Amino acid sequence: MTLLIAIMMILAYLLGSVSSAVLICKLFRLPDPRLHGSGNPGATNVLRLGGKLPAVLVLVFDILKGTIPVWGSYFLKIEPVWLGAIGICACLGHIYPLFFGFKGGKAVATAFGTMMPIGLDLAGLLIGSWLLIVALSGYSSLAAIITVALAPLFTYMIKPLYTLPVLMLSILIIARHRENIIRLYQGKESKVWDKSKRIRE
């Protein structure tokens, strides 16, 4: 089992290292998201750079990067705490991609993908929370931070067994947003639909 866990962690990291934002921007002949807009290779920055279709494709692929290794590990009977570790590896691949110079994104979509196997009810709560906060505030980063902070609570309400793995993911994603937290506090964070400024997701 130990070897199997190690293999799944490595595979999760390698899958997470595939930067869909960079590849899809190349496909649509858009600017490199690592060098333009926010500089963050994620769906929100691609939305600003190229519109809805490429952004949706990036979002779907980034979610699958988290879902596939965790769901596969679940069917291999790997224990919940290790499912969390495998999910973190997928997120670390997105944040520090081996194939793209270790310059990656915030891993929000990938983290969401790792939580999807827990249940559609959890997924619905997470999506609903994110949409509500974006609608009220306009800040993608604020929505991500609050949603992942609520994720362990939602998980405890639905499937307590997975609370610890989700908490591990939440801490990682919130830590990754430390610069956004500072900008939000200073009133310098740009809103998701703001295309007029140099922005950071």
Say whether pTM exceeds 0.75.
yes
From residue 99, alpha-carbon distances to 43, 64, 95, 96 in Å are 19, 18, 11, 9
Give the residue among 8, 27, 200 at the shortest CA–CA distance from 105. 200
Comparing 191 with 84, which gets the higher pLDDT? 84
**3-state DSSP assignment of residue 42:** coil
The pLDDT of 178-183, averaged and rounded, is 91
- Is pLDDT at 148 greater than 90 in this prediction? yes
21, 33 contact by CB (below 8 A): yes
Confidence at 197, pLDDT banded by 50, 70, 90: very low
**Mean model confidence pLDDT for the chain:** 90
**3-state DSSP assignment of residue 120:** helix
